Amino acid sequence: SQTIHQWPATLVQPVGSPLSLECTVEGTSNPNLYWYRQAAGRGLQLLFYSIGIDQISSEVPQNLSASRPQDRQFILSSKKLLLSDSGFYLCAWSMGQNSGANVLTFGAGSRLTVL
């Protein structure tokens, strides 16, 4: 069976510090991978999605970046955090094609507080 791991679960970072969130998927190959951000009580904002290694599309051209160094690994980074980066970050995966591409499975999330 497939599993998705996301870490760290929570972190508190000062403004201007770097960020690295990691996500790995097990039990499948060539998944589509996603990073979403959710502000408190709000919807899910798509940040990045990837259909393969080094194939990443950005939806939010701010101070965040994403990388996919391996097929089942997706990393979200920032060189300098802003207060507005606080939120609940969710990694997700789906099958690469057909009806499975419509079903997202989410990691447990990473709650980031920037002070």
Partner 1 sequence: GQSLEQPSEVTAVEGAIVQINCTYQTSGFYGLSWYQQHDGGAPTFLSYNALDGLEETGRFSSFLSRSDSYGYLLLQELQMKDSASYFCAVRDGGSASKIIFGSGTRLSIRP
Q: Interface residues with partner 1 (CB under 8 A)? A: 32, 34, 36, 42-44, 46, 49, 51, 57, 59, 90, 94, 99, 101-109
Q: How far is the CB of 109 from partner 1 (least distance, A)?
A: 5
Instruction: Please state, in angstroms and as integers, the Cα–Cα distance from residue 94 to each residue in 2, 26, 97, 100, 111, following that order.
Output: 10, 12, 8, 6, 22
What's the CA gap between 50 and 33, in Å, rounded? 5
What's the CA gap between 55 and 44, in Å, rounded? 22
* Residue 14 or 102 having the CB closest to partner 1: 102
Please name every residue paired with 100 in a beta bridge, in sequence order, or none if there are none.
none
* Residue 18 or 52 having the CB closest to partner 1: 52
Q: How far is the CB of 79 from partner 1 (least distance, A)?
A: 25
Q: How far is the CB of 16 from partner 1 (least distance, A)?
A: 28
* Residue 23 or 75 having the CB closest to partner 1: 23
Number of neighbouring beta carbons within 10 Å of residue 28: 18
